[in-house]
Amino acid sequence: MKSSRFDATVLTLCFAFLYIPIIILIVYSFNASKLVTVWGGFSLQWYRTMWSNEGLMDAAWVTARVGVLSATLGTALGTLAALSLVRFQKFPGRMLFSGMIYAPLVMPEVITGLSMLLLFVALNIDRGFWTVIIAHTTFTMCYVAIVVQSRLMTFDRSLEEAALDLGCPPVKTFFKITLPLILPAVIAGWMLAFTLSLDDLVIASFNTGPGATTLPIKIYSQVRLGVTPEINAICTILIGFVTIGVIATSIGTKRAELNRIRDEHVALRGTT
Amino acid sequence: MASVSETQAANTPNPARWLVVVVPYLWLLLFFAAPFLIIFKISLSDTAIAMPPYTPVFPGFGAIRDYISELDFENYLFLTEDPLYIKAYLSSLRIAVISTFLLLLIGYPMALAMARAPSSLRPTLVMLVILPFWTSFLIRVYAWIGILKPDGLLTLLLQTTGLLEPNEQIQIFRTDIAVFIGIVYSYLPFMVLPLYSALEKMDNTLLEAASDLGCPPWKAFWKITFPLSLPGVIAGSMICFIPITGEFVIPDLLGGADTLMIGKTLWTEFFGNRDWPLASAVAVVLLIMLVVPIAIFQNQQKKVV
Amino acid sequence: MAKSLGPVKRKFSPWTDPSAVPFIRFENITKRFGDFTAVDNLTLDIYEREFFSLLGPSGCGKTTLMRMLAGFEEPTEGRILLQGKDISGVPPYRRPTNMMFQSYALFPHMTVEKNIAFGLEQDNLPKGEIAARVEEMLKLVKLETFARRKPNQLSGGQRQRVALARSLAKRPKVLLLDEPLGALDKKLREETQFELMDIQTNLGLTFLIVTHDQEEAMTVSDRIAVMDKGVIMQVATPAEIYEAPNSRYVADFIGDINILEGTVSTTESALGAPGAVRIDCDGVAVAVEQECQAVKGDKVAFAIRPEKVRISPDQPADTSFNAVYGEVWDIGYLGDFSVFLVKMADGRIVRAAQANVSRLVDRPITFGDMVWLTWPLDAGLVLTR
């Protein structure tokens, strides 16, 4: 068919557009030459300089801690928020609540960042590690809420009712039935929250303080000075890290799915 | 067996259940909604020399009345007096509108091609769209610097293919064109995914029905496919348009000195000039500009849910 | 509602007329999807003004056959003639056929009116004519007051009518109906069947309907093609299909039937009737008054519908053939009918249906009773395929 050839062309071009810059970036992190346009042969020297760059390593450590803490906190709050949206059809201020879940998704970061900073100043809280975590938690929890919400929408409520019917109290039912079943979405939410936190420059810049320089802030200040293969190296490591994470989760969920299907088959054969 | 009292407790509404709502609600009220009130308040205050560089907001609740009399619109007046700000707002809108249009132009055929791909291929294609989104925004913008700068890879490519004389260089870096490339590149997944989910849901028999009733394929696209994908078009456009308007990183790294965007202005006002009240006023005006698009977006999301 | 059948159930049988020219002809059609053969070297003629059914289980190729006529699929081999013209390669939007989709495929963003007008607009008809035609169609399906509604504001039955009106609006030469009543409840389905027949007769159109519901096919069709695994098993009128199925498959697919496997013992007119056959079905002696190709020693099947089997506690005068003795194993009370499952000494079960003509709640024959089942010579039939 003609349209399928058109479709294939469109997809090829678009994916080339999406991936070529990243591939180039990765390739040039192994470039022995400092110049972007000159290929000086394969080398790992930029990884070595990166490794010995203490400022960069400190920033990476701060970022990792901020990411884990804010993603965990954001996942907990976001899951609760998703439950509220799906399970509580009516409560005072529900409109405002769902508004506050959706707005951060599109709100320009400069506005979110600035407004939070002003809150911390007004409350007389010194900016630093914890203010970045609070800021990140606030906007990542909204993403988690959306991810978990979409899973909860397709959740079969009768499973919970069955547990309650069999004498399991509500809170225990949540941990024994609901949470295990929405776990893939919760994990995906955590991953998303973690990478968003890892990614964020603007909100962190507003809310950080002395001793809490995150990796994007560090990278940004270096990028402004020009392109260096050292940045390519750290970017490559970040990309590799995230790619492995994403692929691992998707393989993990797929394997869980396959196991489930296989178990069901075994179970069916056992009964007939 | 649960005792009778326990079973009754399970049946009556449990006040602890409300913690599920209350905890995230309070968090968002405190850290998302309250800051907006503060930013609004500060935009109405004077610049002071003290650190933090504005007169404090909460000196004591008894003095609220005094404050109201102290409030002034000086910062907002200043925004209208200096044409720089108005230009920056208009330029941001212009760039956001054009980029959103470009994103639709590229994203729609892509989403359509994905939706029409064999169903076994579709999850992989979606994954391929999402994957770049997981890699850092900053990194993706940075990747373009090496390509676009005058002595960068694009120049090299054009020189080797003979489209450019060896001594010529392509002058895109630090222009609006570079900003458009950066924006389209960074926001493409955000445009494609809502479009794809709208198109993928579409019932293929509708197109068969149209064809059966005498409608050729290209006409069926405009009569059936496009109108039915409008929710996706609106969602995708809003998801892109709103943050692009306040974009900072892309114009800062790829744009030139004459690339005016309000996100950049706000950043400079805050970090450069340390004029917090004015930065707040800039943010408030930006927010007001975006109220309508945000409302459209929220409305659209509610319909999806 | 008065179900005026019009001047129908008429002397309409062009297929018996050798000079009649078929309106639609499927000629040696084969359709493969990868290595799956959906339709296998199939030839079929359909005549003008016929109400024709393709009947079969899901996956038998009936929908594929219809979709090839509509133009959504191209045959791998063979050709389709419409009024003598080969329509292969003609895209669906240029074919004079219209289809009513199983899912109705109503355009959700258009009103009922707009949906019906859609096909007419494609032909660039003048506005006034479109409006008039839409009006006419709305009246035909009795939806005049719903013209401005969107499809999601209608009930299932109303949507079905809109889909019908939309596919009829262009006055197609052939209307294709893909499981048209599948989504309706039983009562509405029966009502709609008669309406469909009315519309078909009054407009003088050719209808081709795909269904897996044998009752529906029996009710509406002039002829039925029973399909299995891509081939046609039998094409005949509903009565022929029911009373004279040509194979075990068709007999079993249509209605309820007892099938006893056996061997032909004599084909002599030992019973005085010409062409009568005697079959030994593992100890049950059966005699059938039927001309058939089978010869002595052939493995055949004897088939008889439950309603043609008499059940009685009394021993019949002659038990040498067409008589079975057994125990009432189960009784299915269906209201109008009761079905008795009678178990013979060797465990085989024969079903007999009896009309419940009186209002007795306690039937004279009950579980565990020993009964005799008998049937006349012309009640059953011999199946060689």
Nearest by CB to residue B132, choosing from A8, A10, A18, is A18
Instruction: For strands C299-304 and C381-383, give the pairing.
Output: antiparallel
Alpha helices by DSSP H, chain C? 62-70, 112-122, 127-140, 156-168, 186-203, 214-220, 238-243, 248-253
pLDDT at C263 over 90: no
Q: Is residue C14 domain-resident? A: no
Nearest by CB to residue B32, choosing from A100, A205, A231, is A100
For residues B44, B46, B47, B53, the Cα torsion angle rounded to the nearest 10 degrees is: -70
Contacts of B202 in chain C (CB under 8 A): none
- DSSP secondary-structure letter at A42? B
Distance (Å, whole) CA B30 – CA B38: 11
Q: Do A37 and A108 belong to one domain? A: no
Task: Answer whether A36 sits within 8 Å of B58, measured CB to CB.
Answer: no
Cβ-proximal residues to C368 (8 Å cutoff; 6+ apart), any chain: C327, C328
Q: How much is the pLDDT for B159? A: 83
Closest residue, chain C, to B217 (C-alpha):
C93
Q: Is B212 on the interface with C (CB under 8 A)?
A: yes
Identify residue C375 by its one-letter amino acid code: W
Q: How much is the pLDDT for A10? A: 92
Assess whether chains A and C touch, using the rule of 3 or more C-beta pairs within 8 angstroms.
Answer: no
Closest residue, chain B, to A133 (C-alpha):
B31
Q: Which of B182, B153, B185, B150 is nearest to B259 (CA)?
A: B182
Average pLDDT of the segment spanning C268-278 = 61
Q: How much is the pLDDT for A204? A: 93
C-alpha count within 13 angstroms, C-beta hemisphere, residue B104: 18
Q: Is residue C213 domain-resident? A: yes
Contacts of B158 in chain A (CB under 8 A): none
Q: Do C235 and C158 belong to one domain? A: yes
Nearest by CB to residue B24, choosing from A4, A35, A81, is A81
Task: Answer whether B113 sits within 8 Å of A84, measured CB to CB.
Answer: no
Contacts of C92 in chain B (CB under 8 A): 208, 211-212
* Three-state secondary-structure class, residue B130: helix
Distance (Å, whole) CA A104 – CA B242: 11
Q: Do A153 and A245 belong to one domain? A: yes
Distance (Å, whole) CA C372 – CA B95: 92
Q: Is B38 on the interface with A (CB under 8 A)?
A: yes
Q: Do A192 and A236 belong to one domain? A: yes
Q: What is the CATH number of the domain that holds A200?
A: 1.10.3720.10
Task: Answer whether B263 sits within 8 Å of A108, measured CB to CB.
Answer: yes
Q: Do C134 and C79 belong to one domain? A: yes
Q: Do C123 and C170 belong to one domain? A: yes
Q: Do C189 and C91 belong to one domain? A: yes
Q: Do A218 and A262 belong to one domain? A: yes
For residue B270, the distance in angstroms to the closest alpha carbon of chain A comes to 9
A&B contacts, CB < 8 Å: 246
Q: How much is the pLDDT for C88? A: 86
- Give the start-end residues of each E strand in A110-164: none
Q: Is residue A49 domain-resident? A: no
Domain tally, chain A: 2
Q: Do A140 and A39 belong to one domain? A: no
Q: Is residue C358 domain-resident? A: yes
Summarize pLDDT for C175-207 with one digit per residue, the tens. 999 988 877 778 888 888 888 888 888 888 899
Nearest by CB to residue A122, choosing from B38, B249, B298, is B38
Q: Say if residue B29 is exposed, middle or buried (CB neighbours under 10 Å; 0-12, 13-18, 19+).
A: middle
Q: How much is the pLDDT for A254? A: 73
Give residues 118 to 177 of A whose Cβ lies within 8 Å of B: 118-119, 121-122, 134-135, 137-138, 141, 145, 149, 153, 164, 167, 169-171
Q: Do A148 and A267 belong to one domain? A: yes
For residue A196, the distance in angstroms to the closest alpha carbon of chain B comes to 8
Residues C206 and C175 sit within 8 Å (Cβ to Cβ): yes
pLDDT at C7 over 70: no
Q: Is residue C6 domain-resident? A: no
Closest residue, chain B, to A8 (C-alpha):
B113
Q: Do A13 and A86 belong to one domain? A: no
Token duo for residue A214:
């995150």
Q: Do A36 and A1 belong to one domain? A: yes
pLDDT at C280 over 80: no
Q: How much is the pLDDT for B71? A: 63
Q: How much is the pLDDT for B13? A: 54
Q: Is B203 on the interface with C (CB under 8 A)?
A: yes
Reply yes or no: is the peptide bond before residue C364 cis, omega within 30 of 0. no
Token duo for residue C45:
């003629």
Within 10 A of B280 (CB to CB), how many other CB atoms are there?
27
Domain tally, chain C: 2
Nearest by CB to residue B24, choosing from A77, A164, A238, is A77
Summarize pLDDT for C204-236 with one digit per residue, the tens. 889 999 988 888 888 888 899 999 888 888 898
Q: Do C54 and C152 belong to one domain? A: yes
Unique residue bearing structure tokens 């330029």:
B91
Q: Which of B293, B303, B103, B107 is nearest to B196 (CA)?
A: B107
Summarize pLDDT for B231-241 with one digit per residue, the tens. 899 989 998 99
Q: Which of C26, C177, A196 is nearest to B137 (CA)?
A: A196
Q: How much is the pLDDT for B109? A: 94
Q: Do A76 and A203 belong to one domain? A: yes
Contacts of C107 in chain B (CB under 8 A): 206, 209-210, 224
Note the ipTM here: 0.84
Q: Give the residues across from C54 on adjacent strands.
A: C210, C225
Instruction: For strands C310-312 and C370-374, give the pairing.
Output: antiparallel
Which of B138, B247, B294 to mutate to probe the A interface, most A CBs <10 Å? Answer: B138
Q: Is B226 on the interface with C (CB under 8 A)?
A: no
Instruction: For strands C223-228 and C51-55, give the pairing.
Output: parallel
Low-confidence ranges of chain B (pLDDT < 70): 1-16, 46-72, 303-305
Q: Do A113 and A165 belong to one domain? A: yes
Tens digits of pLDDT across chain A (272 residues): 457 888 899 999 999 999 988 888 888 888 888 776 677 788 888 888 888 888 888 898 999 999 999 999 999 999 999 999 888 878 888 888 988 998 888 889 899 999 999 888 888 888 889 999 999 999 999 999 998 998 888 888 888 888 787 778 888 888 888 888 888 889 889 988 998 898 899 999 999 988 888 989 988 888 887 777 888 888 888 888 878 877 777 777 777 777 766 776 666 665 44
Q: Do A88 and A159 belong to one domain? A: yes
Determine phi and psi for C127, rounding to 5 degrees.
Answer: -55, -45
Q: How much is the pLDDT for B10? A: 40
Q: Do C266 and C243 belong to one domain? A: no
Q: Which of A72, A81, A83, A132 is nearest to A102 (CA)?
A: A81
Summarize pLDDT for C79-102 with one digit per residue, the tens. 999 888 888 888 888 888 899 988
Domain containing residue C86:
19-248
Determine phi and psi for C279, rounding to 5 degrees.
Answer: -125, 140
pLDDT, chain C, mean: 84
Q: Do C104 and C236 belong to one domain? A: yes
**DSSP per position, C189-246:** HHHHHHHHHHHHHHHT-EEEEEES-HHHHHHH-SEEEEEETTEEEEEE-HHHHHHS-S
Q: Is B191 on the interface with A (CB under 8 A)?
A: no
Domain containing residue A229:
54-271
Q: Do C26 and C125 belong to one domain? A: yes
Q: Is residue A48 domain-resident? A: no
Distance (Å, whole) CA C52 – CA C225: 8
Nearest by CB to residue B228, choosing from C91, C95, C108, is C108
Q: Do C230 and C354 belong to one domain? A: no
Q: Is residue A16 domain-resident? A: yes
Distance (Å, whole) CA C370 – CA A124: 98
Contacts of B286 in chain A (CB under 8 A): 108, 110-111
Show contacts of C179-188: CB within 8 Å, 24+ apart.
Answer: C179/C102, C179/C210, C179/C211, C179/C212, C180/C100, C180/C102, C180/C209, C180/C211, C181/C211, C181/C213, C181/C216, C182/C102, C182/C211, C182/C213, C183/C102, C183/C104, C183/C156, C184/C156, C184/C157, C184/C160, C188/C157
Residues A214 and A132 sit within 8 Å (Cβ to Cβ): yes
Q: How much is the pLDDT for A92? A: 83
Determine phi and psi for C117, rounding to 5 degrees.
Answer: -75, -15
Q: In what order do the strands lie in the sheet with C370-374?
A: C310-312, C370-374, C323-333, C337-344, C349-355
Alpha helices by DSSP H, B48-203? 64-70, 74-81, 83-116, 122-134, 137-148, 153-160, 176-201
Q: How much is the pLDDT for C208? A: 92
Q: Do C160 and C193 belong to one domain? A: yes
Q: Say if residue C299 is exposed, middle or buried (CB neighbours under 10 Å; 0-12, 13-18, 19+).
A: exposed
Nearest by CB to residue B146, choosing from A36, A93, A238, is A36
Largest CA distance in chain C: 77
Q: How much is the pLDDT for B111? A: 94
Q: What is the CATH number of the domain that holds C310?
A: 2.40.50.140
Distance (Å, whole) CA C58 – CA C253: 13
Residues C256 and C306 sit within 8 Å (Cβ to Cβ): yes
Give the global pTM. Answer: 0.80
Domains of chain B: 16-72 (no CATH), 75-304 (1.10.3720.10)
Unique residue bearing structure tokens 């019009």:
C6
Q: Angle CA(B283)–CA(B286)–CA(B291) in degrees, nearest 5? A: 120
Give residues 183 to 242 of A whose Cβ lies within 8 Å of B: 195, 198-199, 201-202, 205-206, 216, 219-220, 223-224, 227, 231-232, 235, 238-239, 242
Task: Answer whether B114 sits within 8 Å of A11, measured CB to CB.
Answer: yes
Q: Is B216 on the interface with C (CB under 8 A)?
A: yes
**Neighbouring subunits of C (3+ Cβ pairs under 8 A):** B
Task: Answer whether B25 sits within 8 Å of A36, measured CB to CB.
Answer: no
Nearest by CB to residue A91, choosing from B21, B136, B290, is B21
Determine phi and psi for C373, rounding to 5 degrees.
Answer: -110, 130
Q: Do A39 and A60 belong to one domain? A: no
Q: Do C265 and C244 belong to one domain? A: no
Task: Answer whether B205 sits within 8 Å of C108, measured CB to CB.
Answer: no
Residues A157 and A173 sit within 8 Å (Cβ to Cβ): no
Q: Do C105 and C233 belong to one domain? A: yes
Task: Answer whether A227 sits within 8 Å of B146, measured CB to CB.
Answer: yes
Mark which of C248, C265, C295 sits at the end of a domain: C248
Distance (Å, whole) CA B264 – CA A192: 27
Q: Is residue C10 domain-resident? A: no
Q: Is residue A79 domain-resident? A: yes
Mark which of C204, C226, C248 sits at the end of a domain: C248
Nearest by CB to residue B140, choosing from A22, A137, A167, is A22
Cβ-proximal residues to A15 (8 Å cutoff; 6+ apart), any chain: B128
Determine phi and psi for C9, rounding to 5 degrees.
Answer: 45, 55
Q: Is B112 on the interface with A (CB under 8 A)?
A: yes
